[in-house]
Amino acid sequence: MEWEWVFQPWPWFVAGPIIGLFVPALLLAGNKPFGIASNLRHLCSAVAPGRVEFFRYDWRARGGWNLSFLCGIVLGAFVAVTWMGSADVAISARTREALTTLGLHDLTGMAPRELFGWPAVLTVKGFVSIVVGGVLVGFGAAYAGGCTSGHAITGLADRQLPSLLAVAGFFAGGLAATHWILPLVFLW
């Protein structure tokens, strides 16, 4: 089939530059912001604009593009999973070994079911990973003024010092969680 290459995973040296070209394209299209973290605020402003001062602003002027971008991500993911191939994810042998060492054994999906699922919320591992981790990620994205992709792709491309500091903090936090915090929680 002529279009078979579209349905296969693309190498990093093709996908990376395509993602990187979005920043200059957005700048040429009128300096549109690129990010997802602010969409929750835009949605709250659209649904309940008068109740909380933080949500009282013109979300159409500030968030219309980002909400369209979010809808495009959801639609693109649906199209990719439904018509463009399987959702099978291959976890490397080294990662499987590390997760097994931490006490996770069901590695059949995209995430360990022992850790991510409704029954897991009632365990210490699951509660810390899902609830505490989710609150920290949400708070961190709000406090940093954006998420990892927003800072790393747009902020660094725009040579913003706060984005450089945020990305360094994201990496330091990720390394600390991977090597020190998660082993303590999982092996406890």
pLDDT of residue 106: 83
| Mean pLDDT for back-to-back runs of 10 residues, the chain (188 residues) | 73 86 78 71 78 78 78 88 69 85 80 80 86 85 79 81 90 90 81
Give the model's pLDDT for residue 23. Answer: 74
Taking the whole predicted model, whether its pTM rises above 0.85 is answered as: no
Q: What is the pLDDT of residue 89?
A: 64
Report H helices in the chain: 12-20, 22-28, 39-47, 59-83, 93-101, 124-126, 133-144, 148-149, 156-157, 161-176, 182-186
- Burial classification of residue 177, based on how many CB atoms lie within 10 Å of its CB (0-12 exposed, 13-18 middle, 19 or more buried): middle
Residue 49: per-residue pLDDT: 67
Cα–Cα distance between 83 and 45 in angstroms, integer?
Answer: 34
Determine the residue type at 40. L
Q: What is the pLDDT of residue 13?
A: 92
What is residue 85's predicted lDDT score, i.e. its pLDDT?
A: 65
